[in-house]
């Protein structure tokens, strides 16, 4: 008979220095279904930020368990240099973001006409993510696994095979544009990001760069800022996430990215949710949009199937294996999109199942994010 160890017991055993058999339960839905991460490797508990970084970056297959906060703020010093106050910062000192001059952003016109140069001081750790090696599972215990002041980057490997699960990434120079990204994928494959909470991030919460990230599943996460999916031929399953209090680019999709967005809950978005352009391909089904000004930024300059009605949704059957589920809207704008020409791109892929939009909002609020598995 299987025995299940509760989060409280795991935390107790961790704090008392005892080893426990902890690992990933279940498999990711959708494109990254074959991701195994560290597999059955013996769980290891890093003592401090030095050991955590060492284990994450090496080439050894590992299950790394986080049962406390790992605070990188100040660990690599600070940088003081010339940045800018963009025109978008209408409330400096009261929540508005100034900017680091990354990639000449302040001087190439992106900061807006009338932007002014200022001195900025930021934490170096926040803009230099940890480069995660292949075959790793990073798992938090309960709600205790926190990485503060530094993000994660999975890049440049043909079979990265990484699981990031049940951790909280927070406080990457949130006062600055270009202050740091929480999770970056670029040229990666087989990535599962599950039950992660991301907060107080200077730039993107999850960003897929211009190099192809083949199979990615992003599930059951709590996100309140930018999702930037602009890779090359990326395959992304976005399922069961709670995406709230954003103002745009949640997500931005381009670069021949194929995105299956299913049973997510978007809430309180003052701008737009989807921004689809430059080759992006999106199937959105069974989602709920509540108080979302524009579920889709118009005009969409690429291909979108927004599951408009029960008859049209039958087109999903051939390549997705089911009739697409209707989306639901409350005090939200419209979500047009009936493109089906790209459906053959789903052929031969592992496709996430879809349920009715009924209950999606309540389920996402109750189950997405850290400490809920």
CA separation for the pair 267, 242 (Å, rounded)? 8
Q: What is the CATH number of domain 128-367?
A: 2.160.20.10
CA separation for the pair 160, 295 (Å, rounded)? 33
Confidence grade of residue 22 (pLDDT, cut at 50, 70, 90): low
CA separation for the pair 197, 191 (Å, rounded)? 16
Confidence grade of residue 12 (pLDDT, cut at 50, 70, 90): very low
Query: Got the DSSP string for 326-365?
Result: PPEEES------B--TTGGGGTTS-------STTHHHHHH
Provide, for the chain, the percentages of residues in helix, strand and coil under a 3-state DSSP scheme, each rounded to the nearest 5.
15, 35, 50
* Structure confidence by residue, pLDDT tens digits, 169-212: 999 999 999 999 999 999 899 999 999 999 999 888 999 987 87
Above pLDDT 70, what percent of the chain?
A: 94
pLDDT value for 217: 98
Sign of CA dihedral 168, 171, 176, 180: negative
Does the pLDDT of residue 1 top 80, yes or no? no
Structure tokens at 27: 């498999």
Domain locations along the chain: 78-122, 128-367
The one-character DSSP state at 291 is: E
The whole-number average pLDDT for the span 273-300 is 96
Residue 146, CA distances (Å) to 5, 138, 223, 299 in order? 21, 11, 15, 39
Mean pLDDT of the chain: 92
The whole-number average pLDDT for the span 224-252 is 93
The whole-number average pLDDT for the span 22-50 is 93
Does the pLDDT of residue 349 top 50, yes or no? yes
Residues noted as catalytic: 249
Does the pLDDT of residue 80 top 80, yes or no? yes
Confidence grade of residue 136 (pLDDT, cut at 50, 70, 90): very high
pLDDT value for 232: 84
Residue 300, CA distances (Å) to 231, 248, 264, 282 in order? 18, 14, 20, 11
Neighbours of 348 (CB within 10 A): 8
Give yes or no for a contact between 82 and 104, defined as CB atoms under 8 angstroms apart: no
Q: How far is CA 59 from the centre of its chain?
A: 24
Instruction: Note the pTM of the prediction, 2 decimals.
Output: 0.93
The whole-number average pLDDT for the span 119-147 is 97
Above pLDDT 90, what percent of the chain?
A: 85
Sheet holding 235-239, edge to edge: 43-44, 62-66, 136-140, 162-165, 191-194, 215-219, 235-239, 258-262, 281-285, 303-305
In 3D space, the residue among 288, 222, 276 whose CA is nearest the CA of residue 248 turns out to be 276
pLDDT value for 15: 44
pLDDT value for 20: 41
Nearby residues of 260 by Cβ (< 8 Å), 6 or more positions away: 30, 31, 236, 237, 238, 239, 283, 320, 346, 351, 352
The whole-number average pLDDT for the span 154-165 is 88
Is 149 strand, coil or helix? Answer: coil
**Angle subtended at Cα 214 by Cα 208 and Cα 218, rounded to the nearest 5 degrees:** 60
* Structure confidence by residue, pLDDT tens digits, 107-118: 999 999 999 999
Phi and psi (nearest 5°) for 313?
Answer: -65, -15
CA separation for the pair 290, 307 (Å, rounded)? 17
């Amino acid at each position: 008979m299987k025995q299940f160890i509760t989060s409280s017991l795991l935390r107790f055993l961790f704090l008392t220095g005892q080893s426990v058999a902890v690992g990933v339960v279940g498999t990711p839905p959708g494109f990254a279904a074959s991701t195994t991460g560290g597999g059955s490797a013996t769980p290891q508990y890093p003592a401090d930020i030095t050991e955590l970084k060492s284990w994450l970056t090496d080439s050894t297959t590992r299950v790394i368990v986080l049962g406390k906060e790992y605070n990188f703020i100040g660990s690599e010093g600070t940088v003081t240099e010339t940045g800018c106050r963009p025109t978008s910062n209408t409330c400096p000192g009261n929540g508005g973001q100034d900017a680091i001059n990354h990639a000449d952003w302040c001087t190439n016109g992106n900061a807006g006409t009338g932007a002014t140069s200022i001195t900025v001081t930021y934490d170096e750790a926040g803009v230099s993510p940890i480069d995660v090696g292949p075959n790793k599972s990073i798992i938090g215990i309960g709600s205790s696994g926190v990485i503060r002041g530094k993000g994660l980057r999975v890049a440049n490997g043909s079979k990265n095979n990484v699981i990031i699960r049940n951790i909280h990434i927070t406080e990457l120079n949130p006062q600055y544009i270009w202050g740091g990204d929480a999770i970056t994928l670029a040229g990666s494959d087989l990535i599962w990001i599950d039950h992660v909470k991301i907060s107080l991030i200077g730039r993107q919460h999850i960003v897929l760069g211009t190099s192809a990230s083949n199979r990615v599943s992003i599930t059951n996460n709590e996100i309140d800022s930018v999702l930037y999916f602009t890779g090359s031929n990326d395959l992304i399953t976005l399922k069961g996430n709670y995406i709230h209090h954003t103002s745009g680019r949640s997500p931005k999709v381009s670069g021949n990215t194929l995105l299956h967005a299913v049973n997510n809950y978007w809430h309180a978005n003052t701008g737009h949710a989807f921004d689809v352009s430059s080759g992006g391909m999106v199937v959105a089904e069974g989602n709920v949009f509540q108080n979302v000004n524009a579920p889709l930024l118009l005009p969409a300059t690429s291909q979108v199937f927004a599951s408009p009605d029960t008859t049209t949704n039958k087109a999903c059957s051939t390549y997705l294996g089911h009739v697409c589920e209707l989306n639901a809207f409350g005090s939200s704008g419209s979500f047009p999109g009936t493109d089906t020409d790209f459906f053959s791109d789903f052929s031969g892929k592992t496709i996430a199942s879809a349920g009715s939009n009924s209950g999606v909002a309540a389920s996402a609020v109750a189950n997405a994010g850290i400490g809920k598995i």
